[in-house]
Amino acid sequence: SQQGEEDPQALSIQEGENATMNCSYKTSINNLQWYRQNSGRGLVHLILIRSNEREKHSGRLRVTLDTSKKSSSLLITASRAADTASYFCATERLTGANSKLTFGKGITLSVRP
Amino acid sequence: DAGITQSPRHKVTETGTPVTLRCHQTENHRYMYWYRQDPGHGLRLIHYSYGVKDTDKGEVSDGYSVSRSKTEDFLLTLESATSSQTSVYFCATKGGLATLVGFNEQFFGPGTRLTVL
């Protein structure tokens, strides 16, 4: 079963507004990552937050992690039409030399010009 | 796309035929992964490799096999394709030791759209 579950499934906002996307997961993790996918393309890594971190920033992105609630949120500030894409959270658990990500089903973000 | 190519990019085949998808990377990354992406399911891990000749199953490995004879290539084989294997397949790589800072992100290829009739 999938580890990450994003919420909402789809989000439509006006350019300039902030977009908040949530992710919940079920088991312990080493880190949580957010990826973006433009239509017809591969995924691109956006930001990673480790299990001992609570908040991280990268440009217009802000991600939070609450391990007690097993949840994360991704905030995109001052959204642009070019932010229109699907966003996925993924959790990583490290077991020895093995490294695997488990992805959620994704959130479709539409930013209206 | 971090030097990751997938071939073919599109393929249409018939049920029962064997199909091999190739992932090639020029980054000398240790880890390589095969995912499938289907509407309503997100990305699901099929198989992965943590070194040459070292592979393991993911959550949806039935009907698929993989091989990695050298660092740069990771092959995904559908021994006898079925219509349920119609999907978009993504290869991804990750470099270095899993526990080192900066080596945790995966880099994705452009995808292969496979249709099984």
Given a cut of 80, whether residue A3 has pLDDT beyond it is no
Given a cut of 90, whether residue B57 has pLDDT beyond it is yes
8 Å CB contact of B45 and A88: no
Dihedrals phi, psi of B61, to nearest 5 degrees:
-90, -15
Chain B: residue nearest A2 by CA?
Answer: B44
pLDDT tens digits, residue range A59-109?
999 999 999 999 999 999 999 999 999 999 999 987 776 778 999 999 999
Q: Minimal CA–CA distance to B96: which of A45, A52, A50, A99?
A: A99
Given a cut of 60, whether residue B101 has pLDDT beyond it is no
pLDDT at B16: 97
Instruction: Please identify among residues 27-46 of chain B the ones whose CB lies closer than 8 Å to any CB of chain A.
Output: 31, 33, 35, 40-45
Q: Provide the percentage of residues in chain B whose pLDDT is more than 90.
A: 79
Given a cut of 80, whether residue B100 has pLDDT beyond it is no
Given a cut of 70, whether residue A2 has pLDDT beyond it is no
Segment holding B90, helix H or strand E: strand B87-94
Instruction: Identify the residue with better confidence: B15 or B96.
Output: B15
Q: Measured between CB atoms, does A13 come within 8 Å of chain B?
A: no
pLDDT tens digits, residue range A18-37?
999 999 999 999 899 999 99
Given a cut of 60, whether residue B1 has pLDDT beyond it is no
Q: How far apart are CA B70 and CA B22, in angstroms?
A: 12
Contact A106, A37 (CB under 8 A): yes
Under the banding of pLDDT at 50, 70 and 90, the label for residue A1 is very low
pLDDT at A99: 78
Helix (H, G, I), strand (E, B) or coil at B96: coil
Give the residue-averaged pLDDT of A2-12.
81
Chain A: residue nearest B113 by CA?
Answer: A40
Given a cut of 70, whether residue B99 has pLDDT beyond it is no
Q: Provide the percentage of residues in chain B whose pLDDT is more than 70.
A: 91
Under the banding of pLDDT at 50, 70 and 90, the label for residue A110 is very high
Beta-carbon contacts of B44 under 8 Å, excluding residues fewer than 6 positions away, are A2, A103, B35, B36, B37, B38, B58, B59, B60
Q: Measured between CB atoms, does A39 come within 8 Å of chain B?
A: no
pLDDT tens digits, residue range B24-42?
999 888 899 999 999 888 8
For residue A24, with 0-12 CB atoms within 10 Å meaning exposed, 13-18 middle and 19 or more buried, which class applies? middle
From the candidates B25, B50, B105, which should be mutated to test the interface with A, based on the most A CB atoms within 10 A? Answer: B105
